[in-house]
A and B are shown apart, each in its own frame.
Chain A
Amino acid sequence: MKKLILDILLGSLLVFSFTYIVLLIAGAPVLDAFKHIWLGAFASSIKISQVLSVWVPLTLCSCGLLFTFRANLWNIGIEGQVTMGAIGAMAVLRTPVIDNPTLILCLAFLTSMLCGGAWGLFAGLLKTRGGVHEIFGGLGLNFVSQGFILWLIFGPWKRPGIASMSGTELLNRKLWLASLPGWRVATAGIVIAIAILILTWLFLEKSRLGLKLKAIGQNPKAALLYAISPERYYLQSILIAGSCAGIAGFIQTTGVYHRLIPSISSGYGYLALLLVMLSGYKIVLIPILAFFFASLNVGAIQLPIVLQLDSALSGVIQGCCVLCALFILGIRQRRAQP
């Protein structure tokens, strides 16, 4: 326990000094930058709700990734799975046939899960059937989904008159996920994220699926001897991951942007990969770290306006956190060796 706290302190110190150096190189006022990130994330209830609305997709993606990481799969395609989820949701929301908003939202939710899951399954099949490493299958599918969403926004789903990068037409207000008065975050999104967190914990820690995934992740050949087919569980885990990502896409569409934009996934899939690595694949840490990452993301938004700095600073800090954590882990493992 003492060692753990020491490690965290050491890691924070490393991250802080690295960020300090980067800011010095950029010639920026260091303390001001940190202050503005803090203010940008927590100054008002609107800012905090923005943080929460980033927290939701991050948590969802991370939950999905826990499954694939446990089977030792690198589901880089999660970015495209979010996008496909958003597209699926939008496709349902655009059908004028159904009148009942609740029903149509439920249908959109299910479709987004299906689309994200199918996109994940596709990458999984490329791996199990085609022998293509999931990183490259996933990347290819990410590029495809990016092209697809651009084509939709500039083609069939364009706004009447003008097609632009700002996205499709706004959804009917009845189809927005509701939020509490004074808060700008969809309540349903938070509820879904917490529910998925609990479900993920149950599945991974209390079910046979979690155990089998663990066996496959640690030694696929030995698992095969116990009649656990790695291929089947690869597909299952990536299907689950894709569905979680699809839900994130649904919430991005109906709860955050209320339309389809080209960057609907906002890089949250890649960020979730970092987050899960930083958590050491422990689900307890996911919500906390997701909140930390989300507040960095939101806090950095106003940096360009206030200090003329690029908002990529948040990404620098996040990436640095992961590398420092890996570094400390590596040193510890090395020390532990005889």
Chain B
Amino acid sequence: MMGDLSLPMLIASVLAASAPLIIIALGETLAEKSGVINLSLDGAVLFAAMAAFVVARETDSLLFGFFAGGCAGMLTGVIVGYFSIYLHLSQVAVGFALSLLCRDLAYFLGNPYSRVQGPTMLNSKLPFYDSLPSSLQIILTQPLTVWLALLLVAVIYYFFSFSKAGLCLRSVGENPAASFARGLNPAKIQMLAVLGGAFLVGIGGAAYSLSLKPGWGRPQGAEGIGWIGLALVIFGGWNPIRVALGAMLFAFLQVSGIGLQDLFPGIPSQVFQTAPFPLMIFTLIFMHYSTSRSRKQGYSSGRLQRIAGKLFMSRAPKGLGQSYRQE
């Protein structure tokens, strides 16, 4: 079916392609759970990817590269956080303007480094590599970012569901006024969540320019990913595991596009490159739509709908997008 892609190869490429997106979407989840939308994702990813590549090339160290990516992401987080939490400006307006600014800043500052060789993260073999069957060998030989992404899914899930800090963060996202009354400092918690989330977004951006699509250029190849990440968070119902599954679905669409290209030589390759984006958004919209009735009524009639409702049920943090003014 998929040209010369065998099943283990397919799984391996989906995992590899989804890792940066998972990290990015988890970062956004963190921020949104505290009630702040960071709409600058698309620009922040590119900006971090550029910073990571430039630093990694100059210092010849991947570690510094990833760190620089994270810091670049955090820089955007500082602006989003300060503008929306302390100045009470529209989060959407700030995020959108920042998104375009960061994208152009990345192109402008990264220009001297476009299409040059730089350090790339290679696939690392597991310690018990030789004892595995060959199909697992293919699947499990991945760059470190994949393991980081999977680990983060578990960590963030644990953080939200079982830790006290996670509970505080969620309560601020649901009702800042009530959590203030309980002795929390909503502004501080939101700022921390935005910064932490933006750091992850930066790491995700770095994973693009240092591992998945090595190098820098215009276009880099990570364009539009930030928007997909944002959509994933919302339609993934602010649940880290579902968000990660959504990211894998997107990666699957991208990878299978490459495979399908060989089957339909009549259709230009550019169409296959753009196709995953609308497909993804419309899949999400369809899932959202199919559960909208049960969401409104609070229950669902059909069995299939009930299952779908359980799977896709989502509720936004109550305070999402509103800035909280302490009285």
Chain A residues within CB distance 8 Å of chain B: 22, 25-26, 74, 76, 126, 130-133, 135-137, 139-141, 143-144, 146-147, 150-151, 154-155, 163, 165, 262, 270-271, 273-274, 277, 308-310, 312-316, 318-320, 322-323, 326-327, 329-331, 333-334
Binds A, one of B3-11, B18-26, B85-93, B118-126: B85-93
Q: Flag if B271 contacts A147 (CB, 8 Å).
A: yes
Q: Which of chain A's residues has its CB closest to B285's CB?
A: A132
Q: Flag if B97 contacts A322 (CB, 8 Å).
A: yes
Q: List 11 A-B contacts (CB under 8 A).
A: A130-B289, A132-B289, A136-B281, A140-B277, A277-B97, A308-B111, A309-B111, A312-B104, A326-B97, A327-B87, A330-B83
| Contact of B158 with A by CB under 8 A | no
Determine the chain A residues whose CB is within 8 A of the CB of B98 once the complex forms: 319, 323
Given A26-B108, A76-B96, A139-B231, 9 extra CB contacts under 8 A = A137-B281, A140-B281, A147-B275, A309-B111, A310-B108, A310-B111, A316-B108, A326-B83, A333-B88
Query: A102 to chain B: closest CB distance in Å?
Result: 35
Q: Flag if A313 contacts B278 (CB, 8 Å).
A: no
User: Given A131-B292, A147-B271, A150-B270, are A315 and B103 neighbors across the interface (CB < 8 Å)?
Assistant: yes
User: Given A126-B285, A143-B278, A331-B87, are A133 and B108 neighbors across the interface (CB < 8 Å)?
Assistant: no
| Contact of B129 with A by CB under 8 A | no
A contact patch SS: helix
Q: Which of chain B's residues has its CB closest to A304's CB?
A: B111
Determine the chain B residues whose CB is within 8 A of the CB of A308 once the complex forms: 111
Chain B residues within CB distance 8 Å of chain A: 39, 79, 83, 87-89, 92-94, 96-98, 100-105, 107-112, 218, 224, 227, 230-231, 234, 266-268, 270-271, 274-275, 277-278, 281-282, 284-285, 288-289, 292
Give CA–CA (A277, B90) in the complex, Å: 11
Q: Flag if B108 contacts A312 (CB, 8 Å).
A: yes
Query: A152 to chain B: closest CB distance in Å?
Result: 10
Determine the chain A residues whose CB is within 8 A of the CB of B105 once the complex forms: 22, 312, 316, 319
User: Given A151-B267, A163-B268, A326-B93, are A22 and B108 neighbors across the interface (CB < 8 Å)?
Assistant: yes
Determine the chain B residues whose CB is within 8 A of the CB of A326 once the complex forms: 83, 87, 89, 93-94, 97
Determine the chain B residues whose CB is within 8 A of the CB of A135 once the complex forms: 39, 92
Give CA–CA (A140, B281) in the complex, Å: 5
A140 touches which of B100, B234, B270, B282 (Cβ 8 Å): B282
Determine the chain A residues whose CB is within 8 A of the CB of B96 once the complex forms: 74, 76, 273-274, 277
A320 touches which of B87, B88, B101 (Cβ 8 Å): B101
Determine the chain B residues whose CB is within 8 A of the CB of A150 once the complex forms: 268, 270-271, 274
Q: Which of chain B's residues has its CB closest to A145's CB?
A: B278
Give CA–CA (A332, B98) in the complex, Å: 20
Query: B29 to chain A: closest CB distance in Å?
Result: 16
Determine the chain A residues whose CB is within 8 A of the CB of B227 once the complex forms: 139
Q: Flag if A130 contacts B268 (CB, 8 Å).
A: no
Give CA–CA (A146, B112) in the complex, Å: 29
Q: Which of chain B's residues has its CB closest to A331's CB?
A: B87
A323 touches which of B92, B94, B268, B277 (Cβ 8 Å): B94
Query: A7 to chain B: closest CB distance in Å?
Result: 15
A274 touches which of B88, B100, B107 (Cβ 8 Å): B100
Query: A292 to chain B: closest CB distance in Å?
Result: 16
Q: Flag if A330 contacts B88 (CB, 8 Å).
A: yes
A154 touches which of B104, B271, B282 (Cβ 8 Å): B271
Determine the chain B residues whose CB is within 8 A of the CB of A130 once the complex forms: 285, 288-289, 292
Determine the chain A residues whose CB is within 8 A of the CB of B111 once the complex forms: 26, 308-310, 312
Determine the chain A residues whose CB is within 8 A of the CB of B89 once the complex forms: 326, 329-330
Q: Flag if B97 contacts A143 (CB, 8 Å).
A: no
Q: Across the A-B interface, give the 6 residue pairs with the lowest CB-CB distance, nearest first.
A: A319-B101, A330-B87, A315-B104, A140-B281, A154-B268, A312-B107
User: Given A151-B267, A163-B268, A315-B100, are A140 and B289 neighbors across the interface (CB < 8 Å)?
Assistant: no
Give CA–CA (A74, B97) in the complex, Å: 13
Q: Flag if A132 contacts B288 (CB, 8 Å).
A: yes
Determine the chain B residues whose CB is within 8 A of the CB of A137 once the complex forms: 281, 285
Q: Flag if A277 contacts B268 (CB, 8 Å).
A: no
User: Given A126-B285, A315-B101, A316-B104, are A143 and B274 neighbors across the interface (CB < 8 Å)?
Assistant: yes
Q: Flag if B277 contacts A151 (CB, 8 Å).
A: no
Determine the chain A residues whose CB is within 8 A of the CB of B39 once the complex forms: 135
Give CA–CA (A150, B39) in the complex, Å: 27
Q: Flag if A147 contacts B278 (CB, 8 Å).
A: yes
B268 touches which of A22, A76, A155 (Cβ 8 Å): A155
User: Given A139-B281, A146-B274, are A319 and B88 neighbors across the interface (CB < 8 Å)?
Assistant: no
Determine the chain B residues whose CB is within 8 A of the CB of A273 once the complex forms: 96
Determine the chain B residues whose CB is within 8 A of the CB of A141 once the complex forms: 278
Q: Flag if A25 contacts B101 (CB, 8 Å).
A: no
Q: Which of chain A's residues has its CB closest to B111's CB?
A: A310
Give CA–CA (A173, B163) in the complex, Å: 69
Q: Which of chain A's residues has its CB closest to B274's CB?
A: A147
Query: B67 to chain A: closest CB distance in Å?
Result: 19
Query: B325 to chain A: closest CB distance in Å?
Result: 9
Query: B142 to chain A: closest CB distance in Å?
Result: 28
Give CA–CA (A294, B317) in the complex, Å: 40
Q: Flag if B79 contacts A131 (CB, 8 Å).
A: no
Q: Flag if B107 contacts A310 (CB, 8 Å).
A: yes
User: Given A143-B281, A316-B105, are A133 and B234 neighbors across the interface (CB < 8 Å)?
Assistant: yes
Query: B129 to chain A: closest CB distance in Å?
Result: 39
Determine the chain B residues whose CB is within 8 A of the CB of A76 once the complex forms: 96
Give CA–CA (A246, B271) in the complex, Å: 23
Give CA–CA (A229, B117) in the complex, Å: 58
